[in-house]
A and B are shown apart, each in its own frame.
Chain A
Amino acid sequence: AQSVTQLGSHVSVSEGALVLLRCNYSSSVPPYLFWYVQYPNQGLQLLLKYTSAATLVKGINGFEAEFKKSETSFHLTKPSAHMSDAAEYFCAVTPSGYSTLTFGKGTMLLVSP
């Protein structure tokens, strides 16, 4: 079985500050990991994915995440927050070879001017 824990239901940053959203996973087999973003009244949009290639994954809108097996983590970062980054972010895991996603509870990112 697999699970995802996202630390912090809300994270507040100032515009221009570093964004760090934490995700820890549990998986009995090598995982595939994903970050999705959800804007109000919209579905989920893929930011980036890890599928056992490079451990540092670059995604859209300047986001990146690093897979650390020893820490079972897949934290999402962005060097400089923009107002448009305000949204809810979801980390998700699936065992390699499957496609059903297990999501974390989500982290709401608030960006202040």
Chain B
Amino acid sequence: KAGVTQTPRYLIKTRGQQVTLSCSPISGHRSVSWYQQTPGQGLQFLFEYFSETQRNKGNFPGRFSGRQFSNSRSEMNVSTLELGDSALYLCASSLAPSTGANVLTFGAGSRLTVL
């Protein structure tokens, strides 16, 4: 079956702009999580959605937001982009968020470059 699909794979924006990233989870997976990966900070948790509700949020400013649709697809948005937002944004899906035994399956990521 198809894996986690993230679009776009690469994008370049300038400071002050906003960006929307999309994630389609594995069919049947209802939980979607987002992580930011940078060389300096490594992998950091952004947020987790299940049944269109945000269940958990990492320590990021309000410029970072997300949502989940009824078909479990998710989007994340970053407004007023800063140079430090340049990163690989990874989406992961799982069956449900209830236990850690639910393995996260990651997409290939969206690489954002802010100029």
Contact = CB atoms under 8 A, between A and B. Distances in A.
A100 B43 contact: no
Residue among B35, B104, B109 with max Cβ neighbours from chain A (10 Å)? B104
Given A96-B100, A97-B100, A106 B106 contact: no
B42 A99 contact: no
B108 A42 contact: yes
* B interface residue count range (under 10 / 10 to 19 / 20 to 34 / 35 or more): 20 to 34
Interface of A: 31-32, 34, 36, 41-46, 49, 51, 90, 92, 94-106
Interface of B: 4, 31, 33, 35, 42-45, 48, 56, 90, 92, 94, 97-109
B103 to A, nearest CB: 6
Nearest to B47: A100
A99 B106 contact: no
B42 A103 contact: yes
Contacts of B94: 99
